[in-house]
Chain A
Amino acid sequence: MVPVQMSVDPNAYAALSALMFFIGVLGVVLRRNPLITLMSIELMWNAANLSFMAYSRAWLNNAGHIFTFLVITVAAAEAAIGLAIVVILFRPRAQSNVDDAMLLKG
């Protein structure tokens, strides 16, 4: 077992994290609005962050904190690029749908 007794069982954090991640995945796969897609991705990042923090506390290991900061940084960069793409998608026809962007079709 984990060395530290926590008021909430770490498995509960893990379950919540998994739930958040799955909601994010569904959002990316099912929704066509690029803004929603971005937010879903954000949700998945944060699911990962939650796991990092919970187990960092449980194992008394600060590596989890550091990775969380790293994830936040990357997520911010990703959001910036993602929003820029959304703007470009939006410009030609004043609406946006991720299924319209099909330039990578083989």
Chain B
Amino acid sequence: MESSVISWPLIVWLLPIAGAVAIWACGPLLRRFAGPLACAVIGAAFVGTLALWPAVAAQPAGVHVTMFTWAPGITVGLLVDRLSFIWLTIITGVGFLIHVYAIGYMEGDRAEARFFAYLNFFIFAMLTLVMADNFVFLLVGWGLVGLASFWLIGFWIERPIAVEAARKAFVMNVVGDVGIMLAIFALFATFGSLSYADVFAKAAQGPGPVMTLIALGLLAGACAKSAQLPLHTWLPDAMEGPTPVSALIHAATMVTAGVYLVARCWPIYQHAPGAMETVGVIGALTALAGAVLGVVQWDIKRILAYSTMSQIGYMIMGVGVGAYSAGVLHFYTHAFFKACLFLASGVIIHNLAGEQDVRKMGGLAKRMPVAFWSMLAATCAIIGVPLFSGWVSKDAVVYQTLAHGHPVLWLLGVAAAALTAYYMSRMMWVTFAGSFRGDEHGAHAHGHVPAWVMGLPVALLGAGSVVIGWLNWPHEGFAEFLAPIFGGTDVAPAAAWGGEFLSTQIPLFIALIVGAGIAYLQYGTAGALAQAPARLEREAAAQPAFLVKLYYWNELLDALFVTPARALAALCARIIDPKLIDAVLVRDVATDAGVLGLLFRRWQSGLVRTYALTLLCGAAAIIVYIAVVR
């Protein structure tokens, strides 16, 4: 449906950037009103998103607004179809809750206004990414979310670790951006257009090898943005940013852009089976690898970061095997429970004056009941306790993986689920059960921001973690809703492998019981809790180095890329710079100019009559040229 010039998509899209510009411009004046203003803007965008619902529900093709022609053949517009609508509700809805929470979390920070300007800017960038109707605009959004992520990870610029992490995230994301850009070049060369509608309509005509290359280029972008193997190492480091940022960008929205990309480009992947297989394998391996690393972490935010990586692995696995709507469903529920987990951990960190080590926590259930109950709900969701949202979506992903004929990936998924149950239960018991192991000095004195500002978003997201999966009922509601997008290709016949209950729900439930049970025996029993501090220290010392060092993946990337790059830089500094740039290109040019000057200064006799004679000769030469030569 073509809609009029002033339209809801445009308003929703532009509101956050208006907020960002206003806060940037008037930051010093706004001071602590910057937060409420930012929230109001995102709240309004959420309302605008909801106002789009009737049009989106009525039009299977979605609402389309053409904005301008960027280059011959490339028009830029906004497209809100059912797939982007799903992302929009999370970006503005969950984004709004996190904005509200951030008012409390960032209270009294040196640069509160700057923080909210960045946060609004991020929402704008993310909306650009999901509302684009062509690949160029998608890449613009893709780059802008990377920029917002860079700013927000390194928000506390006085902390070198944060700045380092921001730079790392940015560089690794640019690797993916280049992949997408190459894919876009190939798309334009093949199809002569970059709008989704044109490309997807002609996808079947594309030559197979080219389609595979395009799909792999897009996959490179998805891997970088969504922290999938082998480009995952930036995500845990990104936890140096403020916790609302971790919740918003590095859990709920930006890191799921890879899932969006693959789901959006499903017609391309349909015609590149090899690339699609790769997507599924990468997702499953990341789901497992992330979960394994989650087991050896002690920093609460890093535990959650690895679980994010692992859960996005599930989503990528889902869209990679062709179960697009199951992957999207898992994104939807994950946004709630993971945002809740991060925000609740933020409440803990805030109240313990910045302590993030779970070994120094313990017994927090009574001190922070809201955080505890919300986190409990979200944990039940992520580990897949029946009826919680994560149970609905993870079952869907794992079952569809099997039903689409990938039993090995199914096995990886079930194994990752057992590990998830283990490390999340471990985190819960270590954090909330037993007695407090930290020192009491850090009781945070609250200022003028009331407690509900942080408590309410956490509680709402906790409630969402319980119920949001029910949207998928009656059975496969998400797949039905998304049928106009995926053409019903993504739901495998229900009877495969003995049905969902036997083939997936029972194994996943067993995995849950085993994982959570081991965690209970290790950390939850009265005996374990009684001797906790010493036990935890002993255990930390006994962790295998291979895991503590994160598979030596950072070292591997350093050895492969960073060290050669530094060596090249050193070479340039020692040889190319002094010998070529400084000597030949700078000093020699200056010397040559000087020599020429010495030669020509003879002409500058200072005698006016000589000059006149020169002029005369020049004029004569021109006249002769005109008369004779032409």
Binding site for B on A (CB under 8 A): 25, 28-30, 32, 37, 98-99, 101-106
Q: Which of B481-520 contact A (CB under 8 A)?
A: none
Partner among A25, A28, A30, A102 whose Cβ is within 8 Å of the Cβ of B606: A102
The 7 sampled A-B contact pairs (Cβ below 8 Å) are A29-B609, A102-B606, A105-B604, A105-B606, A106-B603, A106-B605, A106-B606
* Inter-chain CB contacts under 8 Å: number: 35
> Which residues of chain A are within 8 angstroms of B602 by Cβ–Cβ distance?
106
Is the beta-carbon distance between B606 and A29 smaller than 8 angstroms? no
How far in angstroms is the closest Cβ of chain A from B232? 67
Decide yes or no whether B607 CB sits under 8 A from chain A.
yes
> Which residues of chain A are within 8 angstroms of B630 by Cβ–Cβ distance?
none
The closest CB in chain B to the CB of A104 belongs to B606
> Which residues of chain B are within 8 angstroms of A105 by Cβ–Cβ distance?
604-606
Is the beta-carbon distance between B604 and A106 smaller than 8 angstroms? yes
Is the beta-carbon distance between B606 and A103 smaller than 8 angstroms? yes
Bound-state CA distance A101–B611 (Å) is 13
5 A-B pairs with least C-beta separation: A106-B604, A105-B606, A102-B606, A106-B601, A104-B606
> Which residues of chain B are within 8 angstroms of A37 by Cβ–Cβ distance?
608
How far in angstroms is the closest Cβ of chain B from A104? 5
Partner among B600, B603, B605, B612 whose Cβ is within 8 Å of the Cβ of A29: B612
Bound-state CA distance A98–B607 (Å) is 7
> Which residues of chain A are within 8 angstroms of B157 by Cβ–Cβ distance?
none
Is the beta-carbon distance between B607 and A29 smaller than 8 angstroms? no
The closest CB in chain B to the CB of A28 belongs to B612
With contact pairs A29-B613, A29-B616 given, residues A98 and B608 touching in the complex (Cβ less than 8 Å): yes
Is the beta-carbon distance between A98 and B609 smaller than 8 angstroms? yes
Bound-state CA distance A32–B608 (Å) is 10
How far in angstroms is the closest Cβ of chain A from B619? 9
Is the beta-carbon distance between A102 and B605 smaller than 8 angstroms? yes
> Which residues of chain A are within 8 angstroms of B608 by Cβ–Cβ distance?
37, 98-99, 101
How far in angstroms is the closest Cβ of chain B from A28? 5
> Which residues of chain B are within 8 angstroms of A32 by Cβ–Cβ distance?
609
Q: A25-B616, A102-B606, A106-B603 are in contact. List 16 more A-B contacts (CB 8 A).
A: A25-B612, A28-B609, A29-B612, A29-B613, A29-B616, A32-B609, A98-B607, A98-B609, A99-B608, A101-B608, A102-B607, A104-B606, A105-B604, A106-B600, A106-B602, A106-B605
> Which residues of chain A are within 8 angstroms of B607 by Cβ–Cβ distance?
98-99, 102
> Which residues of chain B are within 8 angstroms of A104 by Cβ–Cβ distance?
604, 606
Q: Which of B542-596 contact A (CB under 8 A)?
A: none
Bound-state CA distance A37–B604 (Å) is 20
> Which residues of chain B are within 8 angstroms of A30 by Cβ–Cβ distance?
609
> Which residues of chain B are within 8 angstroms of A25 by Cβ–Cβ distance?
612, 616
Bound-state CA distance A30–B612 (Å) is 10
The closest CB in chain A to the CB of B616 belongs to A25
The closest CB in chain B to the CB of A101 belongs to B608
The closest CB in chain B to the CB of A103 belongs to B606
> Which residues of chain B are within 8 angstroms of A99 by Cβ–Cβ distance?
607-609
The closest CB in chain A to the CB of B610 belongs to A29
